[in-house]
A and B are shown apart, each in its own frame.
Chain A
Amino acid sequence: EYALNDFYDNEIGSFLIQDLARDNKILGIEYVRPLTELYNHYAIDSGVLGTEGLVKLVDDLGYTVDHLVTLCLAKLVGCIHFTTPILLSNFIDSLKANKCRSLEDIKNLLNEFDNKLKTNGEYYTFIYDSCFNLLLEEGKKTIDSETAQEYWDLFFACQNYPIKVQSDQYQQWFKYLSNANIKEITKDQWAMLLRFFKKFPSLSELQRKYSEDSAWPYIFDEYYEYLEDNNKI
């Protein structure tokens, strides 16, 4: 499949553009050319838009790569994992659908995303859930704990987002991870953490309501035990 993608991207790029151009006589040719140019401008990872290109793009859009809108953008343009390149067709289709054809347009879109993240819980959860796959390296099923922690910082540290967790809870979680020497985070654990923090935003809430008999993954039982052993609750 990937080989086929490469083939499309490298060998018949021009053919593709012609093909698209023909379609866009109906759908609006004005998007294809500028977006293709944009794509090519950032296709600095051996001719495709990869991690490096994305970082540069985000940078040029006035955001830093450690801003959550990076995830929104990556998700929008059809990025599966950060490590796999973004296809030109996905890039054009998705941006066109959002009526973007210049950096300025994309920048406005990202501002919109930023706002949506802060106000729309569902969207925030969607981006959080997607984040795991974006961070996943190809062929692996878990992400390493350090990476997970960096991104958890983005999601939970600034308190600007719909799901707020008190810093004691969130700091203890990190301490627990390093204490228990946890190296890998599974998709289930990643996804459940958001629900966990949503349900138990503070240590006192956790103490009051947590039950090992409910379905929380085992790692949370251990976290709870760790808190008990260390007199945090």
Chain B
Amino acid sequence: MLNHRTKFKVPTSLSSPELDFDGILLEITDAIDSIYLEKTEVLSFEKLYRHIYLIVINGAGSKLYGEIEKFMSSKLRELRNDFTIDETQDEMGFLKNLNQFWLNQCKYFKIINDLMSYFNKVYCKEERKFEVYDLCLNLFRIDIVIPLHESISNKIINQINKVRYNNELLYIANTDIWKSIFNMLETLQDVDDKDNYFITYFEPKFIQRTENFYSNFLNVDSLTLDDYLVKVEKIKSFENHLDNYFLNPDTTLKIISILDKCLVWNNIMDKVPAYVKDLIQVSNNDQLKKLYSLSLNEEYKGKIISTVSECILDALKESTDNNINDNTKRIKKTQMSLNWISSVLEIYNKYKALLSCMKTDKFSILNENLMKYLKDLENLTIESVIIYLDTFLKLSSNENLYNATNNHTNSDRSTDTIKKNIKDCTILLKFINEKDYFEIFYKKLLSKRLLQNRSNFELEKWLVGIIKTEMGSFVTIKIEGMLRDINKSKELLINFKKSEDLNNIAYIPEILTISSWPFVSELNTDLIILPKELLEIQQNFQTFYSSKNYNDRTLSWQFNLQTIELRCSINKNIYELIMPFYSSLILLLFNENEIYSTSEIKEKTNLPEAELIKQLLSLTIAPKCKILKKSPPGTNISLDDKFSINVSFKSSVTRIKVPTLVNGGISSSSINGLGNGSGLTDDQQLEQLQLEKSRTLQINASIVRIMKNSKTLTHNELYEKVEHDLLDRFSLTNIMFKKSIEILIEKEYLQRSPDDINFYFYVA
């Protein structure tokens, strides 16, 4: 420290005995004047350095600092007054002058700074004051820029707005001047300000005026949407381009977002819903994408999305009105289901394309809306989806495919198209909650397709695979069992044919596992008397089947599921009659005798009376199929009535399906006793009751299982657990749950807590 000081210390004897401060100051100010006159060559820097050195070591630094500040300030003010006179000249001239003035000052400040470098280093640094250069800049700010603030900013912004207005980069050269002036503003800084002059004082004004400028720039009402989108895009890219010339990136971003506000969301927010609806109407996905990507504003994007969402729901509701609620057209349920599901799928695909085109992160609104919509139509959805699938699967049957390829007309019927239609429909599966009902209804139609060989077996297997993935294996376990049975039966048939002589009768056995199929088992079928030929086949098959050693499987014959095809000659015409098994038993009797009474038929077939009467009625009164004649005629059958072949029977087709009476009426599709699968029947009520019963049992079991583990739970805890437990089967409702709870309290599996009704105890 001591050494350090001595190094700078000049012996007093060497210094001037008296410091002539005023003289030195005068020399310095003269020198500054010379610098301003750009006559630096006359200056003796060596002498000036020495003077300044003397002032500093004599402790007069602070006095000098003050004097310099005063001098420079008055100099700048003086120059400003000269400069201000020119303020009246045109804006660009003013800006050019200002810029030139600024550049000059910087040059002078630099020289002055150099001149005083010892002062800077020893005095300013020690005293923590501005160096002379910075001192000058600060004075420039105070004495030039602040007084001229309005003038500078107005003029430069006017210039920029003029370019914006003309929308062309004619004055591109000027951007250099702007850039330089912005640079000046960014250089200037007050001690107390965190940010520079540009950011603190200029930028807010610039942004404000930019906003004012663009706010009324586009009159949306007079533009079509297309024109508007083009214009906005053009303006944005122009502004961006322009800003690149003279503006720093931060401010550019702010300007662009102001543009967003003025041109887009502030401007067209009210019109967005109408625009979106129009674009959706004409499926203009590209324009919609442009509209959506026009702004990053959350509210704006949200508004577009909520409008799209609204449109989805509206479209779906319209579909309900057109297809389900429309009572003016009397169409069959099958057709209604096809129309409705097709229309829902069409809507789905349309919006799927639209949303992926928009590249939005809100893609989920499609599924959300669809789910909300289908939830209220749960059972109808299930039935319609299954009927839709059923229709297409039936198109895939070999017979239908064969017809299609021969006609070459209907391209809808190629396997690929069918597959695509089915695949499309499977997206709806995941919206189905009541999976147990789906299973019941699906099995009903599937059993019909399988037993009547109405569809392509490979396609059935493929679809069941998809159902399994979408809905879980709980739903498909029995359905898969049904497919397995059919497959197994085919194998059996091949082996059976190899080993047996079939008497010219084409016999197709189908072994159905009782627990998988939706039938009520028919009892006491062994009492029925079969014709010799059939009995033989039955016995042969029985022997063959038991030789296979399927452990623990017993074969029981379900005649009501069987169909028989008979070839017969009536009045010299050959007909092929396709009929239920029991009908055929009656008809075959007439091979031996011409006339039978009711009681004789009963005796010879041993059919239960109700079945007998049903079949006799079917054979005598069904339209176009009156194969038997009854005497006396009428729709009542008594034991003494006589039956004979109706010899006057005539039909234009050779293959005839003979229907069976169902519930007093004729149902053409009721062969095999499956009922009218696609229409609402009386069975449905029964079905619903059974469904409810099975659900109650499942809920009860689930509650007991859970309570056994937990011992005590609150109402809501238990509800959630049971709901979760049954999630892959059906959706639990409050009513079902409470009813089960009450049953279990009644049966004393559960008890309410005496203190708090919301608590349940498990009673072991």
Q: What is the bound-complex CA distance between A80 and B760, given in angstroms? A: 26
A-B contact pairs, 16 of them (CB 8 A): A187-B745, A188-B746, A188-B752, A191-B752, A213-B715, A213-B734, A214-B716, A214-B758, A215-B714, A215-B757, A215-B760, A216-B757, A218-B735, A221-B734, A221-B735, A221-B738
Quick one: closest A residue to B714, CB to CB?
A: A215
Find out whether the CB atom of B742 lies under 8 angstroms from the CB atom of A215.
no
Find out whether the CB atom of B758 lies under 8 angstroms from the CB atom of A186.
no
Shortest A198–chain B CB gap in Å is 10
Q: What is the bound-complex CA distance between A195 and B738, given in angstroms? A: 17
Q: What is the bound-complex CA distance between A29 and B630, given in angstroms? A: 93
Query: Is A103 in the interface zone, CB < 8 Å from B?
Result: no
Interface size of A in residues (CB-CB distance below 8 Å): 15
Find out whether the CB atom of A186 lies under 8 angstroms from the CB atom of B716.
no
Quick one: closest A residue to B735, CB to CB?
A: A218
Q: What is the bound-complex CA distance between A215 and B742, given in angstroms? A: 10
Most chain A beta carbons < 10 A, residue from B735, B739, B742: B742
Query: Is A141 in the interface zone, CB < 8 Å from B?
Result: yes
Quick one: closest A residue to B734, CB to CB?
A: A212
Shortest B121–chain A CB gap in Å is 81
Flag B233-260 by CB within 8 Å of A: 1 or 0 each.
0000000000000000000000000000
Query: Is A121 in the interface zone, CB < 8 Å from B?
Result: no
Find out whether the CB atom of A187 lies under 8 angstroms from the CB atom of B734.
no
Most chain B beta carbons < 10 A, residue from A192, A216, A218: A218
Query: Is A217 in the interface zone, CB < 8 Å from B?
Result: yes
Flag A133-145 by CB within 8 Å of B: 1 or 0 each.
0000000010000
Q: What is the bound-complex CA distance between A192 and B756, given in angstroms? A: 11
Shortest B752–chain A CB gap in Å is 7
Q: What is the bound-complex CA distance between A191 and B751, given in angstroms? A: 12
Given contact pairs A186-B746, A187-B746, enumerate 13 new A-B contacts (beta carbons under 8 Å). Answer: A188-B752, A192-B757, A213-B719, A214-B757, A215-B752, A215-B757, A215-B760, A216-B757, A217-B738, A218-B735, A218-B742, A221-B734, A221-B738
Q: What are the 3 closest A-B residue pairs judged by CB atoms, nearest first?
A: A215-B715, A218-B738, A215-B758
Q: What is the bound-complex CA distance between A186 and B760, given in angstroms? A: 17
Flag A115-145 by CB within 8 Å of B: 1 or 0 each.
0000000000000000000000000010000
User: Given A188-B752, A192-B757 in contact, is the A217-B742 Cβ separation under 8 Å?
Assistant: yes
- Please report the number of residue pairs spanning A and B whose Cβ atoms sit closer than 8 angstroms: 40
Q: What is the bound-complex CA distance between A187 and B746, given in angstroms? A: 8
Contacts of B758 in A (CB 8 A): 214-215
Find out whether the CB atom of B746 lies under 8 angstroms from the CB atom of A218.
no
Find out whether the CB atom of A195 lies under 8 angstroms from the CB atom of B757.
yes
Contacts of A212 in B (CB 8 A): 734
Shortest A127–chain B CB gap in Å is 15
Find out whether the CB atom of A188 lies under 8 angstroms from the CB atom of B742.
yes
Shortest A163–chain B CB gap in Å is 14
Within 8 A of B (CB), among A186-223: 186-188, 191-192, 195, 212-218, 221
Within 8 A of A (CB), among B710-760: 714-716, 719, 734-735, 738-739, 741-742, 745-746, 752, 757-758, 760
Find out whether the CB atom of B715 lies under 8 angstroms from the CB atom of A188.
no
Shortest B404–chain A CB gap in Å is 54
Shortest A70–chain B CB gap in Å is 25
Contacts of A191 in B (CB 8 A): 752
Shortest B761–chain A CB gap in Å is 12
Find out whether the CB atom of B746 lies under 8 angstroms from the CB atom of A213.
no
Find out whether the CB atom of B734 lies under 8 angstroms from the CB atom of A141.
no
Shortest A133–chain B CB gap in Å is 14
Contacts of A192 in B (CB 8 A): 752, 757
Shortest A134–chain B CB gap in Å is 19
Q: What is the bound-complex CA distance between A221 and B714, given in angstroms? A: 18
Within 8 A of B (CB), among A35-69: none
Quick one: closest B residue to A199, CB to CB?
A: B757
Q: What is the bound-complex CA distance between A216 and B745, given in angstroms? A: 13
Q: What is the bound-complex CA distance between A218 and B742, given in angstroms? A: 8
Q: What is the bound-complex CA distance between A141 and B746, given in angstroms? A: 8
Q: What is the bound-complex CA distance between A213 and B723, given in angstroms? A: 13
Quick one: closest B residue to A218, CB to CB?
A: B738
Quick one: closest B residue to A212, CB to CB?
A: B734
Find out whether the CB atom of A213 lies under 8 angstroms from the CB atom of B757.
no
Shortest B343–chain A CB gap in Å is 35
Q: What is the bound-complex CA distance between A188 and B760, given in angstroms? A: 12
Shortest B745–chain A CB gap in Å is 5
Q: What is the bound-complex CA distance between A215 and B741, given in angstroms? A: 9
Q: What is the bound-complex CA distance between A187 and B752, given in angstroms? A: 12
Q: What is the bound-complex CA distance between A191 and B757, given in angstroms? A: 10
Contacts of B715 in A (CB 8 A): 213-215
Most chain A beta carbons < 10 A, residue from B715, B738, B758, B760: B738
Q: What is the bound-complex CA distance between A218 and B737, given in angstroms? A: 9
Find out whether the CB atom of A188 lies under 8 angstroms from the CB atom of B745.
yes
Quick one: closest A residue to B740, CB to CB?
A: A218
Contacts of B745 in A (CB 8 A): 187-188
Contacts of B735 in A (CB 8 A): 218, 221
Shortest A35–chain B CB gap in Å is 33
User: Given A215-B715, A221-B734, A221-B735 in contact, is the A186-B757 Cβ separation under 8 Å?
Assistant: no
Shortest B748–chain A CB gap in Å is 10
Contacts of A213 in B (CB 8 A): 715-716, 719, 734
Within 8 A of A (CB), among B655-707: none
Shortest A65–chain B CB gap in Å is 29
Contacts of B752 in A (CB 8 A): 188, 191-192, 215
Flag B161-181 by CB within 8 Å of A: 1 or 0 each.
000000000000000000000
Q: What is the bound-complex CA distance between A6 and B451, given in angstroms? A: 66
Shortest B397–chain A CB gap in Å is 48
Contacts of B746 in A (CB 8 A): 141, 186-188
Shortest B763–chain A CB gap in Å is 13
Contacts of A221 in B (CB 8 A): 734-735, 738
Shortest B190–chain A CB gap in Å is 63
Q: What is the bound-complex CA distance between A131 and B53, given in angstroms? A: 115
Quick one: closest B residue to A186, CB to CB?
A: B746
Shortest B760–chain A CB gap in Å is 8
Q: What is the bound-complex CA distance between A214 and B739, given in angstroms? A: 13
Q: What is the bound-complex CA distance between A217 and B760, given in angstroms? A: 13
Quick one: closest B residue to A142, CB to CB?
A: B746
Q: What is the bound-complex CA distance between A221 and B752, given in angstroms? A: 18
Quick one: closest A residue to B719, CB to CB?
A: A213
Q: What is the bound-complex CA distance between A31 and B695, given in angstroms? A: 59
Flag A165-181 by CB within 8 Å of B: 1 or 0 each.
00000000000000000
Contacts of B716 in A (CB 8 A): 213-214
Q: What is the bound-complex CA distance between A95 and B746, given in angstroms? A: 33
Q: What is the bound-complex CA distance between A134 and B660, given in angstroms? A: 58
Shortest A103–chain B CB gap in Å is 36
Find out whether the CB atom of B739 lies under 8 angstroms from the CB atom of A218.
yes
Q: What is the bound-complex CA distance between A192 and B746, given in angstroms? A: 13
Contacts of B757 in A (CB 8 A): 192, 195, 214-216
Q: What is the bound-complex CA distance between A186 and B715, given in angstroms? A: 19
